[in-house]
Structures are given as structure tokens and as C-alpha cells.
Amino acid sequence: MMDYNLAWLSYRNIPWYEDRKFFQTIVTREKHVVIKTAVAELCRAAEEMFGMQPEITDRQERKDNFGKNRICLVMDAGISVAGGYRIEEYGGQISIFSGDASGILYGAYALVRRVQRELPLTGLKLQELPDMPLRMLNHWDNMDGSIERGYAGSSFFFKEGEILLNDRTRDYIRLAASVGINGVVINNVNVSGDATRLITDEYELSLKRMAAELEAYGITLYLSLNFAAPIELGDLDTADPEAEEVQSWWKEKMARLFQRIPNLGGFLVKADSEGRPGPFTYGRTHAQGANMLADMIKPYGGLIIWRCFVYNCTQDWRDKKTDRARSAYDNFMPLDGQFAENVILQIKNGPMDFQVREPVSPLFGSLEKTNQILEVQIAQEYTGQQKHVCYLIPMFKEILDFHTYCRKTKDKVSDIVSGRTFLQTECGMAAVANTGSDRNWTGHDLAAANWFGFGRLAFSASLTAEEIAEEWCECTFGPDRETTAAVTRILMMSWPAYEKYTSVLGIGWMVNPGNHYGPNVDGYEYDRWGTYHRADHRGIGVERGRAGTGYTSTYLEPNAAMYENIASCPEELLLFFHYIPYDYKMKSGKTLIQHIYDTHFEGVEDVEKMIGIWEGIRGKIPEEIFRRVKERLNHQREHAEEWRDQVNTYFYRKSFIADEKGRKIY
């Protein structure tokens, strides 16, 4: 008995589905391992949905039943975007065309999705070409089985220092591949202890097996790397990237590793960040650090994915000039053009750290000569930790749709990370994963929509957040219109609701230090992390304009002027960019303080609405899932009330301005 479900790949039995007839035969002449996977996936779907066992053949023609009722998997050089596919039904035959094996697999999954939604296959014409070349999941899993910022149980990759490879791993791989993921980093970016030794012979066999399992689904294995490995593995007393002994050490290590695991994709590196070692210790730049490693793995086609999450985490809260928001830009912008071809900078979506609302990182659009990956976090560290429902795809859409003005056309973040703007191929999106060994993979059943949605969005950035929500919902629960409408409504309400009852207008934080869960308005205010709100009795907000930290000037025009000027600054980011008095009039005509009170009351009301909507579909969702979600929604309501009351009380006590509507504030 499996102690987990298969999320959106839990196929329902639908013997009434007319177009099941196409699954009678699967035809392919291709021998590629990923195409074998595609065949196996189609067979599994046919078996589970219709109790059918398709005949598998490499014969294109059959005298008795020419071309009828079959699915053909065909390589077609005409589709030149890697992973792209075209599906066509013609004369009783469905053909899935692609220029490469992964595309055939993605086409097979797309076909199955349509079946799950009980949409017709007859007359089908569908083409999808992936927007992002790299579509990655970053797991922050530790080798003892814990997960940093993990909210869905323990790791299914590691336990007690060992690598796990079992049915659960395989089902994880299926789920990831089914939404187009093509790269996975299995260990935490904070690399220490056993994880430092992942590059040694010790783990060679397990990693080799892991890489092969992933490869069969078109996914490349990556590891996080410890920059100080030459020291920590006890071989050298320096990790200086310019030191000859360090270079030969890495050269030898990498040669051995890639010889044994030639399909390893490369490494993700967190350096000089939050106490992790890096090139700064030796007076070297990030370009020197990254390029040295890149050089060592270039012969094997490997990539170094270097994170830009670099900032001073020992700041003095009294210092109003140092601005953590500037940090990634100040550190990396001067290095544009200095990175090797096989280095990619991985940039968090915002300049701070996965808050519920942040402006887009100013590195996007400014860096012109450097490969870039957009990093988002579907682990809901600051967005309800998978106890609150918070569908993040609308946020990711806004980020992708942001105009940087780096060019007259193709200037959006989605253009840049798809490679269209600067004609790059080593680019894409990565998400900090939200999975774990919980029965439903993601803690909150509705959080699976973020995993599914991230993959779908990275593949097809033009899909809307609603389309993705509906697709996820119907694949997971079946195509019941009422259920789809209700669940989609809850998902679409959830990010704005979370923002309303927590920290509005871009101010962020206000969480309990350490675990980052629950309200604590001053939790980080007098601390060293550079995460302040600067509220006093007159107003609140961080002055990041010219009169303050000057962060606004890191944007290209006209964005810089838009943010600089309070009147044109988008209101949802007002307190991120400016210190604003409580009696400031918002566009709605309300004062700032009234806006704060109102949104916090509204946020709780929104959660109550979500509970009502969920209750309305009882009986349409498997009872076990219904109850799990209901329990979490009830917790969310209580927790939202706590947020509302703490935040409103805090600002009432600071400002001494009463709520116009006379509601209870403590």
C-alpha cells in the first residue's frame, strides 16, 4: 500500500470516455529511453483510466485497420525548440511530433491531461514550445532527512546521510517531468557535513542511479556545491579560486565525478551569503569564483549556477544608508560581461527574500551579457508555509510580465529569462521546491497547484494563472464545473488575501524571527538582517528614493522615475520605496492608516469566504482531502485574525489614529 497519493497524476477510472479508442495502439520506431518512458506513461494512463492495455508496435501501417485508433510518437526535425511538441489528430490517428525525445514525453503528458479533463481528442491540434530552456526545481533537502524551509514532511531524497531511491523518488520524477521540469538540484544550497562529500567517490553509485532515473524522464541532475570543499574535505588549507593547488584540486575532483556520472548537469552555488564560504574571503570577485569552477567542468558540458543572494547579514539597524535591497545589484552589476559562458546567475525574483510583495530585482534588464535564471520560491516560507493557501502563480505572472525597458521590445522578465532578449540559451526559471514526504507531497493539498503551476508556467509563460489553476484542478479532482470554479476562485483569491492580512504595500517581514511564521511586527526591526519597516508615530516605510538609500536609481528609466516619485509609485509597493505618513491620502481617498486597518479586516473576511466556498463543494472532493484542507483553512482563519489584530493594534498604538469604522482594535 502506497503511503502517498499521486497528486495530479492520480488517474480516475473513466471507462465512458469515448476517445479512449486512440489508446488501442501506440506506434513508435524510436528507441530513445525517454520515448520508452513516454510509451510507458501512455500505457499506464490507459490502464488506470480505461483498464486498457495498448498494443505497442513499431509498424506504421496495418492492413486491417489503416492508421485507426492509435497514437504515433514521431521525431520531427521541424520542431527545433528543445522540448517542444505538436499533437494532431487526423483520420483516426493521433500523432505526437517533436524534435527531441523530451518533447515526445511532454506531448504524451499533455495528451493525458486532456483525457483527465475529458476533453475530446478528435480533431485535436495543439502545439507548445517551452519558453524557458531551463525549468528547474531546487530542493533545500539536507542529508539527515530534514528540509530547510520544508513544510511538507521530511526529505524523500535523503535519510540519515544516505541517498534514497525508491518508488517515491520515481513518482516524484514522474510528477516533475509531467509539468515539464528538466533540471533538479537535490540538496540544500547551504552545503555542509555529509553534503560536502556528495562530490566524492562515497556517493558515486547512488548519484549515478539517481541521474539515470531522472534522465529517463528528461531531467538532469544537479548538486549544490560547497565552495570551501577543498578545505572542508581536509585536503587543503585554502579555497582561493586563484590558487593553483585549489584549481588542481577541483580539476581532479570534477574529472573523477564527471567520468562516473557523465550526465550530471553541474552545480548550484551559494557563496558569500549568510555565512557560506565564497571568493570574498580571498579578496576575489564572484566572477573569479564562478569562472574557476566553470572552467573545471566545461570539458564535460557542465553548468555553474551561481546565486546572487548576497548581502550583509550583520547590518546595524541604526544605519539607514545601507540597504539590503541594493545588495545583489551592487555586487553583481559591475561584473556583467565577466562571467564564463557556462555560468548562469540565479537571481531571486525580488531584491529582498521571497516576501509576499516585492518589486522585481533590478538585475533583470540591467545585466545584458550574463546568463540568467529567475529564482522563485514555491516553498511558502513567507507566504503561509503551506498551512495557509496561497497560490503564487499570479505573483509569478506579474514578475514575468514586468517591463524592464532594457529594449524597445522583448524587454519583459519573461523575455530575458527565456533567452529572447539577449539571445541566450542557458537561462530559465528555478523554484525552491515545496515538496516532502507528506502523504500529499506538499502539506496543504492546494499547495500542489504551486508545484504544478510553476512547471506549467515555466514551460508556457503565456498561460494565465486561472488557466493553470483550472488545469491543475481538473487533473486532480476531475472535470466537474462547480468544483473547478470553486477551487479556482479560492486559489485566485488566496495571494491577495494573504497580502491583505499580513504586511501590505510592499513592506514585508513583520514575522517571527527564525521560523518566519506568524505575526511579530518588530520581530526583525532591531536585528542585523537588513529587514526593517521603520515605523514610528508619524508614518511607516523605507525611504529608498534619492533622499534615502538611492535604491530607486538601480532601475532603468522610466521605472527609476516611476518608483522615485511617490505619486507614480505603484501603491502596492509604496512602503517598499518610501516612508509615508499615516494621514497620506491613497488613490482610493482613504488615509494610509485607514488602508492598513481596512485591508487587514478584509483579508480575514476573504479567508471566511474561502471557507464558505470550500464547504460548498463537500462531497465533490475525496473526503480525506476535503477534511485536510478544511482543517488548514480553519487554522488559516485563526492565524489571519492574529495577524490582523497584532498589525492593526501595533499601528493604532503607534499612530493613535482610530479606525473610522470603529471596529475592535486592541
| Cβ distance to ligand GCV smaller for residue 189 or 468 | 189
Please tell me the distance from the alpha carbon of residue 272 to that of residue 287, in angstroms, as a whole number. 12
- Residue ranges of E strands in 166-216: 183-185
Minimal distance in Å, beta carbon 86 to ligand GCV?
38
Please answer whether residues 496 and 606 qualify as being in contact, where contact means their C-beta atoms are separated by less than 8 angstroms.
yes
Please tell me the distance from the alpha carbon of residue 498 to that of residue 488, in angstroms, as a whole number. 16
Q: Who contacts 202 (Cβ-Cβ below 8 Å, separation ≥6)?
A: none
Minimal distance in Å, beta carbon 190 to ligand GCV?
5
DSSP letters, 620-655, are TS-HHHHHHHHHHHHHHHHHHHHHHHHHHHHHHHHH
State the DSSP H helix or E strand holding residue 245, giving kind and residue range, or none if neither. helix 244-260
Minimal distance in Å, beta carbon 645 to ligand GCV?
26
Minimal distance in Å, beta carbon 389 to ligand GCV?
21
Minimal distance in Å, beta carbon 117 to ligand GCV?
36
DSSP letters, 175-189, are HHHHTT--EEE-S-S
| Cβ distance to ligand GCV smaller for residue 140 or 339 | 140
Three-point CA angle 378, 82, 264, nearest 5°:
65
Is 330 tagged catalytic?
no
3-state secondary structure of 557: coil
Please answer whether residues 539 and 608 qualify as being in contact, where contact means their C-beta atoms are separated by less than 8 angstroms.
no
Please answer whether residues 310 and 286 qualify as being in contact, where contact means their C-beta atoms are separated by less than 8 angstroms.
yes
| Cβ distance to ligand GCV smaller for residue 355 or 421 | 355
| Cβ distance to ligand GCV smaller for residue 151 or 477 | 151
Please tell me the distance from the alpha carbon of residue 496 to that of residue 608, in angstroms, as a whole number. 14
Binding residues for ligand GCV, rule: CB under 6 A, are 140, 148-149, 189-190, 270, 309, 353, 381
Minimal distance in Å, beta carbon 151 to ligand GCV?
12
Q: Phi, psi at residue 474, to the nearest 5°?
A: -70, -35
Minimal distance in Å, beta carbon 534 to ligand GCV?
21
Is 525 tagged catalytic?
no
Cell match 524557458: residue? 132
Is 353 tagged catalytic?
yes
Please tell me the distance from the alpha carbon of residue 170 to that of residue 507, in angstroms, as a whole number. 41
Q: Phi, psi at residue 31, to the nearest 5°?
A: -110, -5
Minimal distance in Å, beta carbon 148 to ligand GCV?
5
| Cβ distance to ligand GCV smaller for residue 110 or 147 | 147
| Cβ distance to ligand GCV smaller for residue 381 or 470 | 381
Please tell me the distance from the alpha carbon of residue 253 to that of residue 297, in angstroms, as a whole number. 10
Task: Give me the catalytic one of 55, 237, 274, 631.
Answer: 274
Q: Phi, psi at residue 159, to the nearest 5°?
A: -155, 130
Task: Give me the catalytic one of 131, 171, 272, 381.
Answer: 381
Q: Phi, psi at residue 220, to the nearest 5°?
A: -100, 140
Set of cell numbers at residue 565? 516619485
Active site residues: 274, 353, 381
